[in-house]
Chain A
């Protein structure tokens, strides 16, 4: 084999690896579609699934328009430099010069984004990141089902999926990000960078959105709104698990010229450990939430995801027994967080905050204790509690909760956030499409939130905290 062929083979391996990992990541969205559709009531199933489907479009397109540029342009801002863009001096050297090269390849008009035999990798990295972004927005999608306006969701999905989480990734999941360079932050599987941001963003939105009609009675006591198809929800989560293997595999960095697999932080790792640790986290998480929720099917299967997210940040570093313990703790405590949120008067239809927000925060902070002291580069602090705390706070509060609360507050004041009570009671399928998800089957009104509407009070948007 000629040296040119060998060089091309290395490129092709990288290109293929990220391509197929990204294709399998689409299973996350198949899973979310089924999960949310099953979790809704029969009168809202179409609206829920269509809303979820639109996530692919609104985030996919906006990530192409500006999201990819944000990822490459923001790592230095605001502590080690400014936002890099067309205004940056093309003759810049050093770290700004390196970042500028990536930024120039990330503009939507860049030649690297189209068919280009001189660049096989920029497009495939865009593909992987676009799917990360869609995943982030889909997490919000589940929390707000059955009462949000599609337009409001689309606006929030763009802000979360193509901007705030992307800034978090630029700061905390980039070799140039100031979380790493200034504080030694480590978050291999994006526990806080992705899940923490989206979970807390969802919490901020839920406070302004308010609960579904009938979720709380006049005394504020929560009522259970059962999913119309729990088996579909469970199948959906299984598909999400499959997609998560691909997601975590795509977090491994292998490009031509490397002699070992590395993380985005430049530290060595192996793909095999992703396989072992993800499987152990999944299985241990299911066990943890099975015990703590007393075999509740919804929490039990969510426990698998909670386990993976709880260990995600240190998945490349933890020993297998540590993975089992950390995933167990995360998943065991997750149902209590979900119930506490409900007691606070917040209607999180799929437990998005408990699974993604809480476990994301826990996962990122656990690295500061259980994987402390790992070196990550010359002049970069070793992994530790303070570094994790800074990064996790920025992700969950600054890039998660505050934007979610702020934007949804503005939408609420403009009357653009929530559907009318009449539409909500009639069901969004009828209100939005004039169709029913199951036209051939009679739907019992009292089981589907119709009859109770006459006796329940329409909830106020602000929950009882």
Chain B
């Protein structure tokens, strides 16, 4: 029984009884209320954890714009670098006639590298897009049956 009293007289005279006035459930077996308290605390911690995990999924940020921006910036930087190289070559042309051939060769060597960098920045987005497209087809197939 959850009641600490067996007769109405005991209940009405609880203040003089073994519970010292406590009339609540399991007042005569405090261990049960202690366990209930521990479970209550555990539930509270569950709630605290749940506050971090119950929000709905937000739509993911479109990163394609970042990639395009990076692509443009890298492209512009490579143009600036090429322009810089051009100026350096013109400046040194008169002073170092012998080294002309070497400079032209080095700028030609840098151009494919810059192109490779630009392509490598752009490629992951392209790969993801094609994967997303494939996934879409896969999902579509699921509905087809």
* Residues of chain A having any CB pair with chain B under 8 Å: 260, 267-269, 273, 284, 287-288, 290-291, 294-295, 314, 317-322, 324-325, 328, 369-378, 382-383
Contacts and interface: CB of A to CB of B under 8 A. Distances in A.
B39 A318 contact: no
Contact of B39 (A260, A287, A295, A325): A325
Contacts, number: 90
B90 interface: no
A325 B44 CA distance: 11
B3 A371 contact: yes
Contact of A318 (B1, B7, B25, B37): B25
Interface stretch (B47-55, B81-89, B113-121, B128-136): B47-55
Interface of B: 1-3, 5-8, 10-12, 14, 23-27, 33-34, 36-37, 39-40, 43-44, 46-47, 50-51, 54-56
A321 B8 contact: no
A378 B9 CA distance: 10
Contacts of B39: 321, 325
Nearest to A296: B54
B43 A294 contact: no
A146 B40 CA distance: 40
B3 A268 contact: no
Contacts of A370: 2, 25
Contacts of B43: 284, 287-288, 324-325, 328
Contacts of A325: 36, 39-40, 43
A260 B47 CA distance: 39
Interface centre among A294, A319, A372 (most CB of B within 10 A): A319
Contacts of B3: 317, 371-375, 382-383
Contacts of B46: 291
Nearest to A382: B3
Contacts of A383: 3
Contact of B24 (A267, A294, A319): A319
A349 to B, nearest CB: 23
Contact of A268 (B2, B11, B33, B37): B11
Given A376-B8, A383-B3, A321 B37 contact: yes
A52 B23 CA distance: 40
18 contacts: A260-B12, A268-B23, A287-B43, A287-B47, A291-B50, A317-B23, A317-B25, A321-B39, A322-B26, A322-B36, A328-B40, A369-B2, A370-B2, A371-B3, A374-B11, A375-B10, A376-B8, A382-B3
Nearest to B49: A291
Contacts of A291: 46-47, 50, 54
A267 B56 CA distance: 48
A376 B7 CA distance: 8
Contacts of A328: 40, 43
A319 B26 CA distance: 8
A321 B54 contact: no
A72 to B, nearest CB: 25
A328 B39 CA distance: 11
